[in-house]
């Protein structure tokens, strides 16, 4: 007799562990991409804001490409381009690079919006107090602009987390890929998909609610 | 590095098929938008005006659509429904998945739109003898439509990008068709590069058309 | 004729109208005055059925407004209403604002509805603004647009709910002139108003509302010349 969880037939305790590991891989690749992508995105956003003409002619259209081509195509393209360029990257590395750039392109817009949200008068006031450019950035733009776009950033981050499911196309066994594998074997699609969906939901829903609450509180 | 020989000829030869598949992408995205708008309106009104199970159902729909990956939603219509013995064709899987997702996101936009139209507009319309239906379709919804026009355009772009997931459930839209050719010729990079360009162009056409239509529609 | 008998209206616990009896005869202009919150506007909403009532009855040409089975949409065609906030439909031109209801409620063909709308817009002095969107109109013009919109339904009665209160002072005159014009043409009107000059010069009768009852009603000369009630005297003194 197999040590099966009794309420559904083909699904074993080991499968639950398999899914938990896959969920961890989902968290890992999204976490890495969101952190690096956000830092990069803030840098890009700052360049877009300060660079004016040069940035809007070069950087802006480049970032726009990441938002105008399906992520899954970007993943396949990069994964197949890497060996051509002489790089040998595993699915995790390829996926993380693409997700990071994708995240950065979305955060760039958010960050630019945040800097623009701090009006010129306030910035002039800060500078007139003798603050240097970087002091102004650190003490005025970051807290005020950051607060204005924090909810948007949360939306982007959660979006990247959900979109990380697409890295499965490269063979990276994250949560949805694991679910697919298990479904094929156990023929328990409803149970397994519900488990996977519940994981994403349990992660995304509370965070988005919390962010909406913060936004409402800050709006007062 | 770059000792790879690019072969573009096979891609050029199958360009007509790819463009045709691009049309399929546009069609399924547009259709899912129409369905999403109708259901999204219903969900928004249910969340604004109803109590009890229908409101609860609408809230659940919106939150699941927004807090789980689109690919999960597609998988659910793909093999999750198998639990009830329902097996949809690849086209219907994509259409149902996209419509479900669109409806959830659009419902929130519509809800904001309805809240932004003053209640006195409804009163004024009713005082002229219009029925509730007339007041909504002639007075309230046209104003909501303008408020949600840009989010609506964005959602259409999303629908096009999301439809690329059709590739993972065996639907031959642009991505699925590309994969089909790529796997036959092993020219994966070349095929997906051209497809990326086609997506980019489709997205730009949608944004341009939307801007043009807005200029014609919203004279006020 | 509008007949109101023993009307009571509550908003939850709040008793807003406490037993109103009132007849408005055809061709009559009745002004309703009184402090804010005395229930004046609520009375208008009850007359055209935008607010339900809890007790009493309101009849318009013999039709019980609040009876089960009354076709309110048909009834409202008889009762033109102009609001404090003019509520122009922002997505329609002036002409479309006025022509819409005649077309979809009265069922007039497009061309005829357009004709009616044009006529009414000229009537209120907006003949040169047919294709303009409300955004480009002043508050006074928008309020005249609202009047034209109500008139296009060819109502037998016009209800004005503080039609000038939300306007800048310099725009009040043009709206009052339009209302005066209607009165001269013999329209039956109930005007909730803070414009005492209008109430005195134009109305046949003036009703003074105080805390949900009609405390005094009569010809303007009496109401303004020889107010009987203490509250009315205080109210008028404060206004002047």
Question: Does residue A149 lie in a domain region?
Answer: yes
Chain B residues whose C-beta is within 8 A of a chain A C-beta are: 1-2, 4, 63-64, 66-72, 75-76, 79-80, 82-83, 157, 161-162, 164-165, 167-168, 175, 188-189, 192-193, 195-196, 199-200, 203-204
Evaluate if residue A5 carries a pLDDT over 80. no
Number of domains in chain A: 1
Question: Which of B2, B68, B80 shows the shortest C-beta gap to A189?
Answer: B80
CA distance C113 to C96: 9
- Whether residues B175 and A72 touch (CB distance < 8 A) is answered with yes
Question: Does residue A7 lie in a domain region?
Answer: no
Q: What are phi and psi of C92, to 5 degrees?
A: -120, 145
Place of tokens 């519940």: A198
- What is the pLDDT at residue B185? 81
Strands across the sheet with C205-210, in order? C79-82, C157-161, C188-192, C29-34, C205-210, C213-218
Question: Does residue A3 lie in a domain region?
Answer: no
pLDDT tens, residue by residue, C123-150: 888 889 889 999 899 888 898 899 899 8
Determine the distance in angstroms separating the CA of A132 from the nearest CA of chain B, rounded to an integer: 39
Determine the distance in angstroms separating the CA of B80 from the nearest CA of chain C, rounded to an integer: 44
Determine the distance in angstroms separating the CA of B54 from the nearest CA of chain C, rounded to an integer: 26
- Whether residues B161 and A179 touch (CB distance < 8 A) is answered with no
Chains C and A touch (3+ CB pairs under 8 A): no
* Chain B residues near residue C80 by CB distance under 8 angstroms: 127
User: C55 is written with which tokens?
Assistant: 């007790």
Q: Of A210, A207, A102, whose CA–CA distance to A164 is shortest?
A: A102
Mean pLDDT of chain C, nearest integer = 87
Q: What range does the domain containing A135 cover? A: 21-49+62-213
The tens place of each residue's pLDDT in chain B, 220 residues long, gives: 566 777 788 778 888 888 988 899 999 999 999 999 999 999 999 999 888 899 999 999 999 999 999 999 998 998 878 777 788 889 999 999 999 999 999 999 999 999 999 988 998 999 998 999 999 999 999 999 999 999 999 999 999 999 999 998 888 888 888 888 888 888 888 888 989 999 999 999 999 999 998 888 887 7
Domains in chain C with CATH codes? 2-239 (3.40.50.300)
- What is the pLDDT at residue A10? 67
- Whether residues A69 and B161 touch (CB distance < 8 A) is answered with yes
Contact assessment for residue C133 and residue C90, using Cβ atoms and an 8 Å cutoff = yes
Question: Does residue A97 lie in a domain region?
Answer: yes
Distance (Å) of CA A217 to CA A143, A147, A209, A213, C141: 15, 11, 12, 6, 40
pLDDT tens, residue by residue, A95-116: 999 999 999 999 999 998 888 8
CA distance B46 to B56: 9
- Whether residues B123 and C74 touch (CB distance < 8 A) is answered with no
Question: Does residue A160 lie in a domain region?
Answer: yes
Q: A185: domain CATH number?
A: 1.10.3720.10
- The mean pLDDT of C213-240, rounded to a whole number, is 84
Contact assessment for residue C161 and residue C83, using Cβ atoms and an 8 Å cutoff = yes
ipTM of the complex model: 0.87
Surface-to-core class of residue A178, CB atoms within 10 Å of its CB (0-12 exposed, 13-18 middle, 19+ buried): buried
Chain B residue whose CA is closest to A62: B200
Calculate ∠ Cα B131-B136-B142, nearest 5°.
Answer: 140
CA distance B45 to B78: 29
Strands C55-60 and C2-11: antiparallel
Domains in chain B with CATH codes? 9-217 (1.10.3720.10)
Strands C213-218 and C205-210: antiparallel
pLDDT tens, residue by residue, A19-49: 888 889 889 999 999 999 999 999 998 888 8
Question: Does residue A186 lie in a domain region?
Answer: yes
Question: Does residue A98 lie in a domain region?
Answer: yes
Question: Which of C104, C135, C150 shows the shortest C-beta gap to B138?
Answer: C104
């Amino acid at each position: 007799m197999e040590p099966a969880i009794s309420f559904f037939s083909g699904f074993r305790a080991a499968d639950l562990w398999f899914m938990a590991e896959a969920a961890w891989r989902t968290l890992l690749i999204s976490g890495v991409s969101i952190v690096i992508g956000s830092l990069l995105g803030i840098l890009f956003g700052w360049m877009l804001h300060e660079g004016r003409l040069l940035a809007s002619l070069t950087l802006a259209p480049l970032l726009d490409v990441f938002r105008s081509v399906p992520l899954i195509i970007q993943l396949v393209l990069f994964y197949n381009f890497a060996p051509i360029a002489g790089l040998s990257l595993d699915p995790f590395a390829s996926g993380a690079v693409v997700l990071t750039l994708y995240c950065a392109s979305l955060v760039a817009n958010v960050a630019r919006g945040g800097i623009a949200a701090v009006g010129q008068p306030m910035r002039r006031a800060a500078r007139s107090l003798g603050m240097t450019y970087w002091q102004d950035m650190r003490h005025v733009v970051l807290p005020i602009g950051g607060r204005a776009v924090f909810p948007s950033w949360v939306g982007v981050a959660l979006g990247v987390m959900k979109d990380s499911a697409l890295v499965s196309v490269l063979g990276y066994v994250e949560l949805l890929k694991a679910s697919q594998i298990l479904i094929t074997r156990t023929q328990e699609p409803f149970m397994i998909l519900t488990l996977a969906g519940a994981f994403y939901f349990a992660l995304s829903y509370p965070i988005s609610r919390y962010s909406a609450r913060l936004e409402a509180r800050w709006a007062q | 590095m770059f000792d790879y020989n690019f072969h573009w000829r096979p891609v050029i030869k199958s360009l007509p098929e790819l463009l045709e598949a691009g049309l399929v992408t546009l069609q399924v995205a547009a259709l899912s938008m129409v369905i999403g708008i109708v259901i999204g309106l219903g969900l928004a009104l249910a969340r604004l005006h109803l109590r009890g199970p229908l409101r609860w159902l609408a809230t659940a729909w919106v939150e699941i659509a927004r807090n789980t990956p689109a690919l999960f939603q597609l998988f659910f219509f793909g093999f999750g429904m198998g639990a009830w013995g329902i097996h949809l064709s690849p086209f219907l899987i994509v259409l149902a998945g996209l419509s479900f997702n669109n409806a959830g996101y659009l419902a929130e936009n519509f809800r904001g739109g309805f809240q932004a139209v003053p209640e006195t507009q409804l009163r004024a319309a009713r005082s002229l003898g219009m029925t509730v239906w007339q007041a909504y379709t002639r007075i309230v919804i046209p104003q909501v439509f303008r408020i949600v026009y840009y989010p609506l355009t964005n959602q259409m772009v999303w629908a096009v990008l999301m439809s690329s997931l059709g590739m993972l459930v065996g639907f031959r839209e642009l991505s699925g068709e590309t994969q089909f050719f790529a796997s036959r010729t092993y020219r994966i990079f070349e095929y997906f590069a051209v497809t990326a360009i086609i997506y980019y162009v489709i997205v730009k056409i949608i944004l341009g058309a939307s801007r043009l239509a807005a200029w014609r529609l919203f004279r006020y | 004729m509008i007949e109101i008998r023993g009307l009571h209206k509550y908003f939850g616990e709040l008793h807003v109208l406490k037993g109103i009896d009132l007849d408005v005869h055809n061709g009559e202009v009745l002004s309703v005055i009184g402090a804010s919150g005395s229930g004046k506007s609520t009375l208008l909403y009850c007359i055209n059925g935008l607010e339900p009532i809890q007790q009493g009855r309101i009849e318009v040409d013999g039709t019980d407004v609040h009876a089960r089975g009354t076709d309110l949409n048909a009834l409202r065609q008889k009762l033109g209403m102009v609001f404090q906030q003019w509520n122009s439909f922002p997505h329609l031109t002036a002409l479309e604002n006025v022509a819409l209801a005649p077309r979809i409620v009265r069922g007039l063909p497009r061309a005829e509805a357009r004709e009616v709308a044009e006529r009414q817009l000229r009537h209120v002095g907006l003949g040169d603004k047919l294709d303009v969107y409300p955004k480009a109109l002043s508050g006074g013009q928008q309020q005249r647009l609202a009047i034209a919109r109500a008139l296009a339904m060819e109502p037998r009665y016009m209800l004005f709910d503080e039609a000038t209160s939300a306007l800048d002072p310099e725009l009040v005159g043009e709206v009052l002139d339009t209302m005066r014009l209607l009165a001269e043409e013999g329209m039956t009107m109930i005007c909730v108003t803070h414009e005492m000059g209008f109430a005195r010069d134009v109305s046949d009768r003036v009703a003074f509302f105080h805390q949900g009852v009609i405390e005094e009603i009569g010809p303007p000369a009496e109401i303004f010349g020889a107010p009987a009630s203490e509250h009315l005297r205080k109210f008028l003194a404060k206004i002047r």
